[in-house]
Amino acid sequence: MNILLLLPEIILAATALLVVLGDLFLNRKGLLTIISLVGLATSLIFAIILAGREPQAIWQGLLMADRFATFMKLIFLSLAALVILASADYVKRLSHFHGEFHALILLSVLGMMLLGSSSSLITIFVSLELASVPLYALTGLLKDQRGTESALKFVLLSAVNSAVLLYGLALVFGFTGTASLSGVASAVWSLTANEIWSQPGLMFGSILVLAGFGFKIAAVPFHLWAPDVYEGSPTPIALLLSVGSKLAGFAVLIRLLLSISVPVTPPGIIVEFFTPLAISHDWGIALAVLAALSMTIGNLSAIPQSNIKRLLAYSGIAHSGYMLIAVSATSLAFSGLANGDVQIEALLFYMLAFAMAEVAVFTAVTVASQRVGDRIADYAGLGRRAPVLGIALTIGLISLTGIPPAAGFIAKFYVFSQAAESGLWWLVVIAVLNTIISAYYYLRIARLIWQGEPSDGAPITSGVAPKVALFIGAFGVLLLGVLPFWGMKLAEFGAAIFLP
């Protein structure tokens, strides 16, 4: 095995260990933030350096070093750095847990990076647990009543989900005789549609796997944990959950649904997990239904919310639905209904746009919540008390709505057009109607920020680090919206291994 291929992960693990040791000996806890950021930057540099290599299997196919893995590493490492920057002031509330806070974030992101590289059922499950267990601790790190309750709910529901997922993976392994994704794809590819339907255990296992990752991406009907966990967790951790956990789940779904079988096919040829192609169509329709439910229930449930983190949780559920549109369109495209070349690119671009918007919104909420709390009504007049926060939050909300010139408009247009090309016109209509519904509660907050009367005229200040995160999030949203070329090129880079 070429150890160089795992340098980004090794550096991140070493940084987490260094942070824990530094917490024992350093009196200036702010140095832990610097150590974490230096480790993340170093890991990011090595991930970029290794990006140009040819795809290689690691540990006999347990992990893959390819462009898609690199794309996901870039997102997760950048996200972790932005979360740490956004929490630079907030972490002062955790006077006794600075080291644990940073180390747990790094370890969770390490698990997410491994999830994006996993090419075996075994590494998928192990990486998922590595990404999830630190999040349980981070959710309850404030040790208040809400945080403890949220952490307990998160642990119990995740334990059930892990059992369901593990059972599904075991069934898939048992009926195919291999844990390798390429081996599973090859075994299923050799079956006819009638043969697949005559093996209900394999289909049931596949459904359980899909349900397990439906929980990770908070798609309906596996979404009920998200609002409570977001509300009780520290706000920067809600950002990590909203973006990191969700995108890690989609990364695995892409690997599962579009597994590359290098040993039996020429490089670059897709062998789909749910093959033959007749079954791909059935799974595409099933995913389209989940997308419609997630969009509709997420948006309608967000409207009556009075807590901004609960509202953003339901908003995230809706955006899982938008991203599932791209997954569904991809499955239908490769069943022969359309050209599938750009379906995955649309999904990856949406990931970038969603991540940037969430960073802008959650960073602003992290800073503002320390002074005004989490009630939406308390954000009245925020633009007067903190213009920078108000502008960044408004830009993020506009992007989540899908209004130009923000990145969300390009991302939604990209995904919706590909769904229409795949014949999902009914789903596009539902998505457009849901976009209109979402505009009501997003723009209601924006209006409150600038036209509402503040209950307190005192200005809201923040340190340099949160302002850097705010700027990156807001600037990224506008850059991807006005000049989407670079974002599309990056998405094309990440999707290259899936294209014929």
Residue 439 pLDDT: 94
Residue 273 pLDDT: 44
Question: Would you place residue 309 in the very low, low, confident or very high pLDDT band (cuts 50, 70, 90)?
Answer: very high
Full-model pTM: 0.91
What is the rounded distance in angstroms from the CA atom of residue 211 to the CA atom of residue 55? 29
Are the C-beta atoms of residues 463 and 88 closer than 8 Å to each other? yes
Task: Give ∠ CA 219-221-223 in degrees, rounded to 5.
Answer: 55
Angle, in degrees to the nearest 10, between helices 343-372 and 485-495? 120
Q: Is 198 exposed, middle or buried (0-12, 13-18, 19+ CB in 10 A)?
A: exposed
Residue 287 pLDDT: 86
**If you ran DSSP here, which 8-state letter would residue 423 be given?**
T
Residue 197 pLDDT: 63
Residue 259 pLDDT: 59
Residue 23 pLDDT: 86
Are the C-beta atoms of residues 227 and 310 closer than 8 Å to each other? yes
| Per-residue model confidence as pLDDT tens digits over 460-477 | 888 899 999 999 999 999
At 353, the amino acid letter reads: A
Separation in Å, CA 377 to CA 223, 239, 300, 317, 395: 25, 21, 19, 22, 19
**If you ran DSSP here, which 8-state letter would residue 307 be given?**
B
Question: Would you place residue 136 in the very low, low, confident or very high pLDDT band (cuts 50, 70, 90)?
Answer: very high
pLDDT at residue 336 greater than cutoff 80: no
DSSP for 234-301, written as a single string: -HHHHHIIIIIIHHHHHHHHHHHHEEE-TTTS-TT-EEETT-SHHHHHHHHHHHHHHHHHHHHHHHHH
Query: For residue 65, what is the enclosing H or E element?
Result: strand 63-65
Question: Considering only CA atoms, which of 300, 330, 329 is closest in space to residue 317?
Answer: 300
Task: Give ∠ CA 215-225-128 in degrees, rounded to 5.
Answer: 40
Residue 337 pLDDT: 44
**Of 366 and 266, more confident:** 366
Question: Considering only CA atoms, which of 238, 67, 84, 32 is closest in space to residue 146?
Answer: 238
Residue 262 pLDDT: 33
* Rg of the chain in Å (alpha carbons): 22
pLDDT at residue 361 greater than cutoff 50: yes
| Per-residue model confidence as pLDDT tens digits over 257-279 | 765 333 333 333 333 444 444 45
Residue 333 pLDDT: 58
| Per-residue model confidence as pLDDT tens digits over 169-192 | 999 888 888 888 878 877 776 666
What is the rounded distance in angstroms from the CA atom of residue 269 to the CA atom of residue 226? 37
Q: Which residues contact 164 (CB under 8 A, 6 or more apart)?
A: 208, 211, 212
Are the C-beta atoms of residues 4 and 39 closer than 8 Å to each other? no
Q: Which residues contact 484 (CB under 8 A, 6 or more apart)?
A: 349, 407, 410
Mean pLDDT of all residues in 338-352:
76
Angle, in degrees to the nearest 10, between helices 67-86 and 7-25? 20
**If you ran DSSP here, which 8-state letter would residue 58 be given?**
E
| Per-residue model confidence as pLDDT tens digits over 200-248 | 788 888 889 888 989 999 998 988 899 999 998 999 999 999 999 999 9
Mean pLDDT of all residues in 130-138:
92
Question: Considering only CA atoms, which of 104, 132, 113 is closest in space to residue 7?
Answer: 113
Task: Give ∠ CA 461-365-103 in degrees, rounded to 5.
Answer: 95
Residue 442 pLDDT: 95
Partners of 56 in the β-ladder: 65
What is the rounded distance in angstroms from the CA atom of residue 33 to the CA atom of residue 332? 45
Residue 314 pLDDT: 95
| Per-residue model confidence as pLDDT tens digits over 10-19 | 999 999 999 9
Percent of the chain exceeding pLDDT 90 equals 50
Question: Would you place residue 198 in the very low, low, confident or very high pLDDT band (cuts 50, 70, 90)?
Answer: low
Question: Considering only CA atoms, which of 441, 446, 437 is closest in space to residue 295?
Answer: 437
What is the rounded distance in angstroms from the CA atom of residue 49 to the CA atom of residue 44? 9
Are the C-beta atoms of residues 200 and 165 closer than 8 Å to each other? no
Residues composing the chain: 500
What is the rounded distance in angstroms from the CA atom of residue 301 to the CA atom of residue 106? 32
Task: Give ∠ CA 342-344-345 in degrees, rounded to 5.
Answer: 60
**Of 362 and 284, more confident:** 362
At 189, the amino acid letter reads: W
Q: Is 194 exposed, middle or buried (0-12, 13-18, 19+ CB in 10 A)?
A: exposed
**Over the chain, what is the mean pLDDT?**
85
Question: Would you place residue 103 in the very low, low, confident or very high pLDDT band (cuts 50, 70, 90)?
Answer: very high
